[in-house]
Chain A
């Protein structure tokens, strides 16, 4: 089955700087990779996703890149703001099972 590793576990950046969170996965047949943001005490919510037929996707200040050969994908947040502070989870679909396997999360702190 799929295994997802996520790094770093914590990340502190100055407001306005960029943040990068990286994930690797094990199942080369996986083709869907979402990212979820969980603010303190709230439910996880989808912020961006990417499918295996593209290498990069952007949505305003966030972007996700995918390298299928290396089996890793990354979340990039530019011009970070205090409201970006949260826990971010990457995930990969366990191909053929419709299970979503999540990474262990990255706690991002944006320092004002």
Chain B
């Protein structure tokens, strides 16, 4: 596609429910990142995928968070048993084969946990 697509754009859920956030990166981008942006905060690294390599999960805040990337393209971030502190904007970004270079961000998925 022309850009990075994320869905849903907004998600309101009740505490304890599971949520799935989807990212569809730019075709050909082998690197894919998930970041979390809490209100007034910076961009917190969550997880990084590169091609067929094992993902770097070092930023996931707890075992309630997981992500997968199927076929080197679409990625899903899953949050189980959501808590109020999970409320944030979840941003997906892709990058080309050079690794060190521009990140192309999606518009984000705003998650609100009541």
Main DSSP-derived SS at the A contact region: strand
B102, A103: Cβ atoms closer than 8 Å? no
Q: A98-B48, A99-B48, A100-B33 are in contact. Are A44 and B106 (CB under 8 A)?
A: no
User: How far, in angstroms, from A43 to B37 measured CA to CA in the complex?
Assistant: 11
A101, B45: Cβ atoms closer than 8 Å? yes
A44, B100: Cβ atoms closer than 8 Å? no
Instruction: Mark A29-57 against chain B: 1 for CB-CB distance below 8 A, else 0.
Output: 00110101000001111100101000000
User: How far, in angstroms, from A8 to B108 measured CA to CA in the complex?
Assistant: 25
User: How far, in angstroms, from A49 to B95 measured CA to CA in the complex?
Assistant: 15
Judge whether A102 is part of the interface by a CB distance below 8 angstroms.
Answer: yes
> Which single member of A98, A102, A105 contacts B31 (CB below 8 Å)?
A98
Spell out B's residues near A (CB within 8 Å): 4, 31, 33, 35, 41-45, 48, 50, 56, 58-59, 91, 99-103, 105-108
